[in-house]
């Protein structure tokens, strides 16, 4: 059976950037597979997108860190080729490493690194066989330098960036591309906190906070252009470039100074 629309799987599509990614892909005529733990949120979004864009939308609730969950997820996929995999699901645990619970830090590595790697590894062979496909990985500007008090989170995003760059070289000439999207602060529950209702997320100046719909549109364009690294927004393009110029000891000392000051304020 042939399908008129290409198919994209988006993880973490129950919230934040993931919801907006689903909206952009739907607007652009993709059928979708929506994945996250919260089924009700996914079903509501799927209903919205089916009505607005006349697309097929499959909801597959899944904890990507549960044993065997990714195999089960992939076995439940619609029986048709996947054109785009968007590894967007991620968590951020803020705080001092030694004082935080080990379990929370390991969970972060499991989702941000292991699940992304496993999904990519399992989705790639059919894409390579067809000579066609796109993988989009949500990294962060935190990938470009160490971030004290977000040490594990930043390290997971450095992994995503490095992995994507390495893999994109391996994929040259195959018809399959891999894109790392590196947003700065974006106005989602990740930085507001689930119950946070203030106008300003996390007391940040609004000038440095991106709109998730903007980030999602930029991510879509970068994936279609087969860019390897994309940083949405001029402020963050400049910041991520500047942060790579000084010697590393200087960058981490400055990051440490800001990190300690912020940690004291909390
Ligand atoms: N917001 C920012 O400032 C910012 C900046 C740079 C990069 N990013 C990156 O962008 C991506 C999206 O972040 P966001 O800001 O949109 O965060 P968010 O609003 O907190 O959304 C995170 C998504 O991940 C899903 N998720 C969490 N744990 C999961 C699990 N165990 N299994 C399956 N899904 C899980 C959540 O769904 P359920 O709870 O329903 O499972 C949710 O849909 C992340 O990779 C993040 O690191 C965000």
In CATH, what number is assigned to the domain containing residue 23? 3.40.50.720
Residue 194: band (very low, low, confident or very high) from pLDDT cuts 50, 70, 90? low
**Largest Cα–Cα distance of the chain, in whole Å?**
60
Whether 221 has a pLDDT exceeding 60, the answer reads yes
52 domain-assigned: yes
Query: Does residue 2 form part of some domain?
Result: no
The pLDDT score that the predictor gives to residue 199 is 58
**pTM, two decimal places:** 0.96
The answer as to whether 86 is a domain residue is yes
Check the CA dihedral 156-157-162-163 and report its sign: positive
Q: How many helices (H) and strands (E) does the chain have?
A: 10, 7
* Ordered DSSP codes for 139-208: --GGGGS--TTSHHHHHHHHHHHHHHHHHHHHTTTTTEEEEEE---SBSSHHHH-TT---SSGGG--GGG
CA 221 to centroid of ligand 1, rounded, Å: 20
Whether 225 has a pLDDT exceeding 80, the answer reads: yes
Residue 146, pLDDT score? 95
- Domain span holding position 30: 7-265
Contact 225, 32 (CB under 8 A): no
Compute the half-sphere exposure of residue 182: CA atoms within 13 Å on the CB side of its CA: 29
Residue 1 lies inside a defined structural domain of this protein? no
Atom number in ligand 1 closest to CA 138: 45
3-class SS at 131?
A: coil
pLDDT tens digits, 95-140: 999 999 999 999 999 999 999 999 999 999 999 999 999 999 999 9
Q: Tell which wins on pLDDT, 205 or 52.
A: 52
What is the spatial order of strands in the sheet that 31-36 belongs to?
A: 57-61, 31-36, 7-11, 84-87, 133-138, 176-181, 229-230
Does residue 208 carry a pLDDT above 60?
yes
When divided into structural domains, the chain yields a total of 1
* Residue 159 falls in the annotated catalytic set: no
pLDDT of residue 224: 98
Q: Whose CA is nearest to atom 17 of ligand 1?
A: 190
Per the document, the length of the chain is: 266
Q: Read off the pLDDT of residues 35-73 as tens digits, 9 standing for 90 and up.
A: 999 999 999 999 999 999 999 999 999 999 999 999 999
User: Exposed (0-12), middle (13-18) or buried (19+): which is 187, by Cβ within 10 Å?
Assistant: buried
- The reply to whether ligand 1 has any atom less than 6 angstroms from the CB of 185 is yes
Distance between CA atoms of residues 216 and 13, nearest Å = 11
CA of 16 to the centre of ligand 1 (A): 7
Question: For residue 45, what are its two tokens?
Answer: 């979004």
57: β partners: 32
| Residue 220: band (very low, low, confident or very high) from pLDDT cuts 50, 70, 90 | very high
| Residue 131 lies inside a defined structural domain of this protein | yes
* Residues near 158 by beta carbon (within 8 Å), at least 6 away in sequence: 142, 143, 144
In a domain, 217, yes or no: yes
How does the average pLDDT of the chain come out, rounded?
A: 94
Q: For atom 46 of ligand 1, which residue has the closest CA?
A: 90
Q: CB neighbours of 264 closer than 8 A, spacing ≥ 6?
A: none
Tokens at residue 106, please? 């390991």
**In the predicted model, what is the mean pLDDT of residues 17-25?**
98
* Per-residue confidence (pLDDT) for residue 207, from 0 to 100: 83
The finding on whether 14 has its CB within 6 A of some atom of ligand 1 is yes
């Amino acid at each position: 059976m042939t399908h008129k629309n290409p198919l994209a799987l988006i993880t973490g599509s129950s919230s934040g950037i993931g919801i907006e990614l689903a909206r952009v892909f739907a607007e652009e005529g993709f059928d979708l597979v929506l994945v996250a733990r919260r089924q009700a949120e996914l079903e509501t979004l799927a209903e919205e997108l089916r009505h607005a864009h006349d697309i097929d939308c499959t909801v597959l609730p899944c904890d990507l860190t549960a044993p065997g969950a990714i195999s089960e997820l992939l076995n439940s996929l619609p029986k048709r080729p996947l054109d785009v995999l968007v590894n967007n699901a991620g968590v951020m645990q803020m705080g001092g490493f030694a004082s935080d619970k080990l379990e929370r830090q390991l969970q972060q590595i499991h989702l941000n690194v292991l699940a992304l790697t496993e999904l990519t590894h399992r989705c790639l062979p059919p894409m390579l066989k067809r000579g066609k496909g796109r993988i989009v990985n949500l990294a962060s500007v935190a990938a470009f330098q160490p971030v004290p008090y977000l040490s594990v989170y930043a390290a997971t995003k450095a992994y995503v960036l490095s992995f994507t760059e390495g893999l994109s070289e391996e994929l040259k000439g195959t018809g399959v591309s891999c894109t790392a999207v590196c947003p700065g602060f974006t106005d989602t529950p990740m930085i507001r906190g689930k119950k946070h209702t203030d106008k300003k997320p996390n007391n940040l100046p609004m000038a440095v906070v991106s709109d998730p719909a903007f980030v999602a549109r930029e991510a879509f364009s970068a994936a279609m252009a087969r860019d390897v690294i994309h940083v949405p927004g001029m402020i963050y393009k400049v910041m991520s470039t500047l942060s790579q110029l000084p010697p590393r000891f200087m960058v981490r000392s400055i990051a440490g100074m800001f990190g300690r000051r912020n940690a004291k304020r909390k």
